[in-house]
Amino acid sequence: MTDELYQRGQATRRAVLGPSYVERKREQTHDFDADFQRYLIESSWGQVWSREGLDLRTRSLVTIAILATLRHDEELELHLRATRNTGATAEEIKEMLLHVAAYAGLPAAHHATRIAKKVLAEFVEGAA
């Protein structure tokens, strides 16, 4: 079952984060963090992200809300960029960050909004 979870996790991770990101992370994995990476791929991506109960767009928005609340900036940027693959729109992100403000606090939402503005501007620049 573990290999199946790993393969399913890798496939979902590629779909969400993109093949180049996943390949870069694979190349950066060393003996020290190999077990952690495998655990991350099997548990988070293979067991949670791959479930049928929510689509990738919804999981993406929930993940962004949690990362915004916890102020995990690096992961927040990663998952904001992943919205190109998950289909979450800038409008949905904006609405979700307002929800974060109401339930998790204005400082966390304000901080996340600044990060989202920067990342979403990259999309516009990349399209030009």
Dihedral of CA atoms 112, 88, 10, 78 in degrees, nearest 10, equals -20
Confidence at 102, pLDDT banded by 50, 70, 90: very high
- Residues 18-67 have pLDDT tens digits of 999 999 999 999 999 999 999 999 999 999 999 999 999 999 999 999 99
Residue 89 pLDDT: 97
Which has the closest alpha carbon to 87: 109, 116, 58?
Answer: 58
Which has the closest alpha carbon to 12: 74, 53, 55, 70?
Answer: 55
CATH 1.20.1290.10 fits 55-128, yes or no: yes
Residue 99 pLDDT: 98
Confidence at 123, pLDDT banded by 50, 70, 90: confident
Residue 87 pLDDT: 97
The span from the CA of 20 to the CA of 59, in Å, is: 21
Domain positions in the chain are 1-51, 55-128
Confidence at 127, pLDDT banded by 50, 70, 90: low
Which has the closest alpha carbon to 106: 77, 68, 78, 72?
Answer: 68
CB 101 within 8 Å of CB 109: yes
Which has the closest alpha carbon to 92: 83, 81, 82, 101?
Answer: 83
Residue 126 pLDDT: 67
